[in-house]
Amino acid sequence: MTLLPPAHDGRSVLLLEDLRLCSPTRPPRKHEREGHGRRLTRQRRAARSRTGLQFTMKIEYLHASKYGNGVTVAEEFSRQMAAQGVTVDIHHIREARPNELPLADLYLFSSPGRFGKPIGGMRRFLRKVELPAGTRYAILTTEAAPHADRAGHVPSDEEMAKWQHVRPIMNEILQRKGLVEVAEGKVQVTGIRGPLEEGWQQKVAAFAARIAVSKR
């Protein structure tokens, strides 16, 4: 049940869709559950418009950082979004229950890569995620930066894509559940434990800007 802040006349706004879905007379039907995520976001925006309140976006950021690089990226992303009035709650997947994720307007999943794939913990977490079809999500990964071989050749992005499948695998798992991708990006790590690539803050800022545009 969602109770929005008081309107100008002092009355609170209760979303009727929440009340209907929470009715004790029967459990929600499948078509009601699947469309609930998108309807709830539209209703929150409409209710805030009627009461003169500005819609505030809320993001759940779920990462699987092992050496701290993912945490650093998450904190920078949160700082960038806070400047635009967006709330970002950051959690390691160890702290979250995939079948009981908090209500949010967008879910952002972040995983380091290992041998060209998301680490096992993130793959298992995503397979257990329970969110209504139509729920919006984004992906921001930390992946190994390319290094020159013995001949001095540095792989191009196209060559790296042949064996780096971190984001495609994450997308496949989430889209199989009916979730909708809003944006994806990556920040490269120069070594197993770091540090992050030069200019990584600018990459995060550009990614945050795309997310901010998507909320409009």
Q: pLDDT tens digits, the chain, 216 residues: what are they?
A: 444 454 444 444 434 344 333 444 444 454 454 555 555 555 555 544 444 445 589 999 999 999 999 999 999 999 999 999 999 999 999 999 999 999 999 999 999 999 889 999 999 999 999 999 999 999 999 998 887 788 888 878 777 777 789 999 999 999 999 999 999 999 999 998 999 999 999 999 999 999 998 866
Cα separations in angstroms, 87 against 23, 120, 132, 160? 30, 28, 21, 34
Domain around 25: 3-50
Cα 44 to its chain centre, rounded Å, is 19
Per DSSP bridges, beta strands 58-63 and 87-92 are: parallel
Q: What is the pTM of this model?
A: 0.74
- 84 with 116, same domain: the answer is yes
Tell whether 115 and 20 lie within a shared domain.
no
The answer for 2, left when phi > 0, alpha when psi is -120 to 50, beta otherwise, is: beta
In 3D space, the residue among 12, 15, 103 whose CA is nearest the CA of residue 59 turns out to be 103
Same-domain check for residues 196 and 146: yes
The number of domains in the chain is: 2
Same domain, 83 and 157: yes
Strand-pair partners of 180 = 136
Q: Is 49 helix (H, G, I), strand (E, B) or coil?
A: helix
Distance, in Å, from the CA atom of 170 to the CA atom of 147, rounded to the nearest integer, reads 24
Check: CB of residue 67 under 8 Å from CB of residue 194. yes
Same domain, 205 and 168: yes
Q: Of 34, 50, 66, which residue sits at a domain end?
A: 50
Please indicate, yes or no, whether residues 23 and 125 belong to a single structural domain of this protein: no
